[in-house]
Amino acid sequence: MISKRLNSLPKYAFAQINDQIKLLQSKGIKIIDFGVGDPKEPTPEFIREAAKKAIDEHASSGYPSYNGSKNFREKVAEYLKRRSNIDLDPETEISSTIGSKEAVFNFPEAVINPGDYVLMPNPGYPPYKSGTIFAEGIPYQYPLLPENDFFPDFSKIPEEVLQKAKILWLNYPNSPTGKTASKNFYEKAIKFAQKHNILIASDECYLDIYYQKKPISILEISKKNIIAFHSLSKRSNMTGWRIGFVCGDADIIQTFKKLKPNIDSGTPDFIQDAAAKALGDDIHVQKSRDLYIQKKEILLNAFKKINLEIHEPESTFYIWQKVPKNYTSIEFAKKLLDSEIGIIVTPGELISDEINNFNPGKDYVRFALVPSLEQIKSAAEKLEKLKV
């Protein structure tokens, strides 16, 4: 009874990892989970307090608005003005989302026709592809390779694909490679997209998670034909709350707003109020970054001690770690799952697709720096004993 489209999708990569975790736990093995990018640190208290207050205030508010309350959209505009000096009209250039996953998956439905191509990174966040397939588009996956510093090589995309391409997905700060995009790269991407009449969908959900240089948003360069996807999940440890927003070109936002009421009925008001408070504060985000720096250093030091090739991330909370020679990503991930180590990582192969007999994730595993500091220290001790 399953539909052809659903059947055509691989099992969601992280669902496979969750199965592995359950199996190990059922054997009583203590695991440290670097798999899914789901921060274990609590949502800051001032955000939780704002939500509690808002529950009573909205006792009889009924359904929330489809595209976010005026207050939420204004706070989004203030945040992006303060952070990036971007001017956005809360009425026409911003819409709330139920986290960026919903928006990323549904967006192609709003703008593509069957047979249109959607360009996306490989490795990349799975809903770029599944959303395209459900909208009857054709995914074209460009590889992120170390020789290109994990940026797309636009010159390699075939002309016949470009002729029918409608969306270019970009994701910087990048999961899983930890790369930050420069102004120069965005200018090049914008020029390329303009030339081929493609709109840019820029997934910026890790914009505030970085180690040194603050990443820029593509909207700092232009809004024309560009929509950016943002999330409270990583910035404010709010993965469980489900709230994000899209912003950019008013025509694209209007089209997105036309789609959205057909699918959902908006983000609960109390969550929007809490998220508005979160967007007004930068201190908790700085604290979060300080913690990620410590976690990253501990883990990279452990990698150095066992002579793994070091790849310093610039942003996000991921380390895209090259596996030792003679291992594939799955083999190395399995080695880390040995009962005396008990570390879960995401094998690069599971979040990359094999195209023309080549899988760009095969030599990498992804560590998400989401376990607690104590757990990461314990993981580092175990890793240092690893013979590879």
Ligand X SMILES: Cc1ncc(COP(=O)(O)O)c(C=O)c1O
Residues that bind ligand X (CB under 6 A): 37, 99-101, 104, 125, 171, 175, 203, 205, 231, 233, 239, 244
Closest contact distance (angstroms) between CB of 159 and ligand X is: 28
Residues facing residue 347 across a β-bridge: 365
Q: Which is nearer to ligand X, 227 or 383 (CB)?
A: 227
Closest C-alpha among 306, 327, 308 to residue 319: 308
269 three-class SS? helix
Q: Which is nearer to ligand X, 68 or 244 (CB)?
A: 244
Query: For the packed helices 283-305 and 373-384, what is the interaxial angle rounded to 10 degrees?
Result: 10
Query: CA–CA distance from 259 to each of 47, 193, 282 (Å)?
Result: 30, 23, 32
Element (H, E) at 318: strand 318-322
Residue 104 CB contacts under 8 Å (≥ 6 apart), including other chains: 125, 127, 128, 131, 201, 203, 229
Closest contact distance (angstroms) between CB of 101 and ligand X is: 3
CB atoms within 10 A of CB 300: 19
Query: CA–CA distance from 60 to each of 54, 269, 275 (Å)?
Result: 11, 11, 20
Closest contact distance (angstroms) between CB of 238 and ligand X is: 8
Q: Which is nearer to ligand X, 175 or 321 (CB)?
A: 175
Closest contact distance (angstroms) between CB of 382 and ligand X is: 25
Closest contact distance (angstroms) between CB of 201 and ligand X is: 11
Closest contact distance (angstroms) between CB of 131 and ligand X is: 11
Q: Which is nearer to ligand X, 38 or 251 (CB)?
A: 38
Closest contact distance (angstroms) between CB of 324 and ligand X is: 26
Q: Which is nearer to ligand X, 90 or 173 (CB)?
A: 173
Q: Which is nearer to ligand X, 137 or 244 (CB)?
A: 244
161 three-class SS? helix
Closest C-alpha among 311, 235, 291, 270 to residue 37: 235
Residue 197 CB contacts under 8 Å (≥ 6 apart), including other chains: none
Q: Is the Cα dihedral 326, 337, 347, 2 positive or negative?
A: positive
Q: Which is nearer to ligand X, 131 or 342 (CB)?
A: 131
